[in-house]
Copies of this chain bind each other. A is one copy, B any other.
Amino acid sequence: MTLMTDYRQSFLGSARARHNRFQDLENTRQWLKSLQEQAEQSVVRVPLAELEQWFFAADTGDLCHRSGKFFSITGLHCSPVARPGAWWEQPVINQPEIGILGILTREFEGIRYFLMQAKMEPGNVNKVQLSPTLQATYSNYSQAHKGRLPPYTQYFLDPAARVITSQLQSETGTRFFRKFNRNILLDLDSDPELLPGFRWLTLFEIQTLMAEDDMVNMDSRSVLSNIAYTSDETDNEGATIFLHSATSSTKGAMHTIDTLRQWLAQMRLKHALDTSLIPLNSVRDWVRDDWGIRHVSRNYFEVAGVRVQASDREVPLWFQPLLRHDGLGLAGFLCAETGGVLHFLLQAKPEPGIVGSVEIGPTVSLFDYQWRSEHVGGVHFLEHFQEPPADAILHSSIQSEEGGRFWALRNRFVVVRMPDAAAIEHPENFAWMTLSQLQQLSQGESLVNSEARTLLACLRLFQ
């Protein structure tokens, strides 16, 4: 077995690399913004019956693609195990294929760069965001002998590839049924041709862009969340408060990693959900009309049909369903210093599409934040995100969810600092942990949910 290169040091170096040998950050920002403005992509809502290549299965009412591939919209019945008699039903995206999300990295002059792509997705409010080098599926791979592959696929197929991380992670468990993506970081020693639409960026640049709205897509954030850091404490000029939490050893941590694992295990048992797929036409309280499938209350989301015309895709015109959301969600994280290290309050959050029922999520997460905050009480810690003092906000940005499946689904992603962790009473389904511990738990595959992984990816370690 070859010895593992210490990538942690290399990632830290990239996180403080303000200089990019290819172009400066302002140039990249303008490049991305001009692509967003000039992108030729039209997304027009159409009646569901006009979705070419899609049909409602006669027996189940499921919305399926004629090829039998891609995804389908089916029904889900869900019962919380601990509350006999309680249940709900909803439409869900069923896509048994494993997606591949891969980023190529390499060092130039001692600094690690990440190959990012400016990619259009129909659900993006601003059309184009930074995506991983490769977004594909295994069936794209295994059809390698048949035809055109997405750019850079061959590097991920190379048996000699140096894999830095390769983690199975879940997608949004409130909308997908047991969907997994393989998140890959590769280390190259060759210098591949730089194709149009791709740029080499440092982690410093990516983290800076993530402090802005809607620049870095969900898939990129998921892959980048697998990065672990180590700090040599020698060149920490410009370090933010997050650096120490992301690189700290277990010393100073409120709980051991064993205790956190046991806590999650307990929560996974207590908050287990019994789920089963059911025909879409049997889902109670959801109705279908010509234009969509929606809850009788018009809350939650709507299954809508769109016609997409794009200039830069292999297929210039296609039809597909998208899950449409109104308003803005909230992914809120409370943090506080204790034992000299910044800790975050994470929640053991049940979601019906998660195999293990429960993953680690934000302190507060609400897809329908505006509606809920006006109409519903009883969400733990929500009050801390309603008009927090300006100096307590350590991060605030709007981030988009998967633009290939969701139409304008966006969360405000907020980190609020509290004076004292010990002073905050919390129910048993919450736990304080450092960023480094969250990262360690995330290595276990499908223990940390997509919003919490955004936390790992988004926070700037250097300014």
Q: Chain A interface (Cβ within 8 Å of chain B)? A: 1, 3-4, 79-82, 84-85, 87, 96-98, 137-139, 141-145, 156-157, 159, 161, 163-168, 178, 180, 182, 184, 255-256, 258-259, 261-263, 265-266, 268-270, 272-277, 355-357, 428, 431, 443-447
Contacts of A447 in B (CB 8 A): 445
Nearest B residue (CB) for A260: B1
Asked if B84 and A166 sit within 8 Å, CB to CB, the answer is no
Nearest B residue (CB) for A69: B276
Asked if B168 and A355 sit within 8 Å, CB to CB, the answer is yes
Rounded to whole angstroms, the CA-CA distance of A97 and B275 in the bound complex is 8
Q: Say yes or no: A4-B262 contact (C-beta < 8 A), given A79-B142, A145-B84.
A: yes
Contacts of A4 in B (CB 8 A): 256, 258-259, 262
Contacts of A163 in B (CB 8 A): 262, 265-266, 269-270
Which among A167, A258, A355 has the highest number of chain B CB atoms within 10 Å?
Answer: A355
Supply 27 A–B pairs (Cβ within 8 Å), ascending by A: A4-B258, A80-B142, A81-B157, A82-B157, A96-B277, A97-B274, A98-B272, A98-B274, A98-B357, A138-B274, A139-B274, A142-B274, A159-B270, A163-B262, A163-B265, A163-B270, A166-B265, A168-B268, A180-B355, A180-B356, A182-B269, A182-B356, A261-B443, A355-B355, A356-B445, A443-B444, A445-B445
Rounded to whole angstroms, the CA-CA distance of A90 and B320 in the bound complex is 32
Q: A-B pairs with the 9 shortest C-beta distances?
A: A138-B274, A166-B265, A444-B444, A84-B145, A79-B142, A163-B266, A84-B144, A142-B274, A166-B269
Nearest B residue (CB) for A177: B96
Partner among B276, B431, B444 whose Cβ is within 8 Å of the Cβ of A97: B276
Rounded to whole angstroms, the CA-CA distance of A114 and B292 in the bound complex is 54
User: How many copies of this chain are found per oligomer?
Assistant: 2
Nearest B residue (CB) for A441: B444
Partner among B138, B256, B261, B262 whose Cβ is within 8 Å of the Cβ of A272: B138
Contacts of A182 in B (CB 8 A): 268-269, 272, 356
Asked if A276 and B96 sit within 8 Å, CB to CB, the answer is yes
Partner among B84, B142, B164, B357 whose Cβ is within 8 Å of the Cβ of A84: B142
Contacts of A262 in B (CB 8 A): 4, 163-165
Partner among B144, B166, B444 whose Cβ is within 8 Å of the Cβ of A266: B166
Contacts of A143 in B (CB 8 A): 84
Nearest B residue (CB) for A426: B1
Rounded to whole angstroms, the CA-CA distance of A87 and B138 in the bound complex is 13
Asked if A98 and B355 sit within 8 Å, CB to CB, the answer is yes
Asked if A141 and B274 sit within 8 Å, CB to CB, the answer is yes
Rounded to whole angstroms, the CA-CA distance of A182 and B357 in the bound complex is 11
Contacts of A81 in B (CB 8 A): 138, 141-142, 157
Contacts of A167 in B (CB 8 A): 265
Q: Say yes or no: A1-B428 contact (C-beta < 8 A), given A157-B82, A261-B443.
A: yes
Q: How far is the CB of A43 from chain B (nearest CB, A)?
A: 29
Contacts of A87 in B (CB 8 A): 142
Asked if B96 and A268 sit within 8 Å, CB to CB, the answer is no
Contacts of A1 in B (CB 8 A): 255, 259, 263, 428, 431
Which among A80, A81, A263 has the highest number of chain B CB atoms within 10 Å?
Answer: A81
Q: How far is the CB of A149 from chain B (nearest CB, A)?
A: 10
Contacts of A428 in B (CB 8 A): 1
Q: How far is the CB of A206 from chain B (nearest CB, A)?
A: 21
Asked if A156 and B3 sit within 8 Å, CB to CB, the answer is no
Rounded to whole angstroms, the CA-CA distance of A447 and B273 in the bound complex is 23
Q: How far is the CB of A186 from chain B (nearest CB, A)?
A: 9
Rounded to whole angstroms, the CA-CA distance of A255 and B443 in the bound complex is 18
